[in-house]
Amino acid sequence: MNQAKPIKASNFIEKFINEDLEQGIYQTICTRFPPEPNGFLHIGHVKAVMIDFGTARKYNGICNLRFDDTNPNAEDDEFVESIKNDIHWLGFDWGDRLYFCSDYFASLYEIAVRMIKNGVAYVDHLSKEEIRDYRGTFTVPGRDSPYRNRSVEENLMWFEKMKKGCLAEGECVLRAKIDMQSPNLNMRDPVMYRISYTPHHRTGSEWCIYPMYDFSHPLSDALEGVSHSLCSKEYEDHRPLYNWFVEQSGLEHKPRQIEFARIHVSNALTSKRKIKKLTELGLVEDWTDPRLVTVAGLRRRGYTPEALLNFIEAAGVAKADSVVDIEMLEHFIREDLKEKSPCVMAVLRPLKVTITNYPEGEIEYLEADNNPKNPVMGRRKVPFSRTVYIDRADFKMDPPKKYKRLAPGLEVRLKHAYFIKCNEVIRDAQGEITELLCTYDQQTKSGSGFKGRKPNGTIHWVDTGTSQHIEVRVFNNLFKPGQEDSSNLETAVSPDSRVILPNARIECNFLDINVNDRYQFIRDGFYVIEKDSEQPDKTIFNRIVSLKSTWKKK
């Protein structure tokens, strides 16, 4: 690492780091991102990734990726790989600094033994419930465990038994000896080690005792030479404990913990426990379901890393918690895609239109912009013939006042094409509208400069003979209104959270203008092509976001 210099601070974290550099406390900057491999990353983690990796980058320092794998009951290599993929997709890299807390199990054990010998740790045989009772509350001071004053020799003997697997799970724990009267409950003799016989995803059955996060995390930071441990505000009350463990460890390096507020997004589920439950109940596909705000889910839905990072940057780095409207997130994906994505015409609920005065068997090719906001993307030819599909939502038998679409006797423009007028409605035996018979005005061709009259609006369409069949999936809020915090997930999930439209149509040459796999469906929204390994011949589009936004920048 190069010698770090103060920078122009854009937030309070950088101000603190600048002060440390000016005072000579640190010469180089090293941060770390320490996820638990017990689930996929979500939108909240994106903020931590951006702060941890981004801060190190600003100071020409480094950021380690270290998995906090101290709970074998919940961890899996699948989660390790998904987290690595998500970080790379967001545009960050840890180089050769991939670590696991399990890398330090031997060192942490030695530190624990040293603390026992120094009289600041002891083996406690109280049950989990008894420990909770003895700890007290915010208003009731804690009480010393009857095992708190065991001799060093006795504690070493019991801790060795824990390590060798001579005791049952829950039979005892190793605790730090701090202060049971402390107003900070975290300082009331916290647990350092517990027994677990669940095989570990990396170390197998080599260990049957595992360190607790409050013990392992600060010492892992110190062992790695982390200068600044940047974490969410929930760990602010843990900072005295963080510092205490570092001091008692005997390690020379002293990291500094700095806390920032988490990002909370409205109508977004970030609870790993609930997401896991949703997958187990089959209410979502898996952790990558596009209705979730996991990074993998957002990626599958079509979000770009640029949109997520711009969203996090706009939300800012603060000390106080706040809730950000999910519409703000949607605003940034619209902003990112509006000049990148080709515009195409797609009809989600097709209704056939026959233009009775258009020559049979004739096809003409009309000019269309690939993206009106980005002329560099060029133009394309769109086939037009006697029969086209329009969207059922663009036709009403009995239109309301100020209606701006097609209806009996009304005239609209087919985008890039001609004016058409509806003259007759065809129904099937059940009374369902199956076809509209219309006429067109040859003089009204788009681009001809015709100004004789104004149409009753402009609608999109696709040619029946050349358009391609697609399946469209539209995603809405996962939960029913007001049910986001419900404990009954089976009744809380909205049946309209995913709407599948199996018979949609898209203009034939959309692949020819593809610059990525995202498109803007004219008058509807932004979409991404879904890769379905089980149905490789099927073209599926997921809606990323609608075109309309109600969010306003303040």
pLDDT digits (tens, 9 = 90+) for 95-104: 999 999 999 9
Of the candidates 93, 94, 65, the one whose C-alpha atom is nearest the C-alpha of residue 80 is 65
Does residue 36 have an active-site annotation? Answer: yes
Residue 400 DSSP symbol: P
Q: How far apart are the C-alpha atoms of 47 and 74, rounded to whole Å?
A: 23
Distance CA 337, CA 93 (A): 25
Distance CA 462, CA 155 (A): 78
Residue 115 has pLDDT above 70, yes or no: yes
pLDDT digits (tens, 9 = 90+) for 3-23: 899 999 999 999 999 999 999
CA distances from 65 to 37, 83, 221, 357 (A): 12, 10, 11, 67
Taking residues 69-87, report their average pLDDT: 96
State yes or no: pLDDT of 71 exceeds 90.
Answer: yes
Instruction: For 188-223, write each residue's pLDDT tens digit.
Output: 999 999 999 999 999 999 999 999 999 999 999 999
Note the helical H segments in 429-519. Answer: 489-492
Q: Which of 143, 233, 254, 262 is catalytic?
A: 262
**5 is known as an active-site residue:** no
State the average pLDDT over residues 148-164. Answer: 98
pLDDT value at 554 more than 70: no
Q: How confident is the model at residue 552 (pLDDT cuts 50, 70, 90)?
A: low
Contact status, residue 435 vs residue 406, Cβ threshold 8 Å: no
Would you tell me how many other CB atoms lie within 10 Å of the CB of residue 142? 19
Token pair listed for 323? 């809730």
Q: Could you give the 3-state DSSP secondary structure of residue 145?
A: coil
Find the catalytic residue in 272, 277, 352, 415: 272
In the annotation, is 150 catalytic? no
Per-residue model confidence as pLDDT tens digits over 244-260: 999 999 999 999 999 99
| pLDDT exceeds cutoff 90 at 384 | yes
CB contact at 8 A, 112 and 121: yes
Binning pLDDT at 50, 70 and 90, where does residue 261 land?
very high
Please state the rounded mean pLDDT for residues 325-344: 93
Nearest to 61 by CA among 100, 14, 105, 106: 14
Q: Which residue in the list 36, 313, 435, 471 is annotated as catalytic?
A: 36
Q: What is the pTM of this model?
A: 0.91
CA–CA distance, 297 with 356 (Å, rounded to integer):
46
Q: What domains does the chain contain, in order, with CATH numbers?
A: 13-260 (3.40.50.620), 264-337 (1.10.1160.10), 342-463 (2.40.240.10)
**Pick from 51-55, 294-298, 314-318, 456-460: least confident:** 314-318
H or E segment and range at residue 506: strand 498-506
Tokens of 438: 């219309």
Predicted pLDDT at 551 = 60
pLDDT at 550: 66
CA-CA distance, 6 to 334, in Å (whole number)?
A: 36
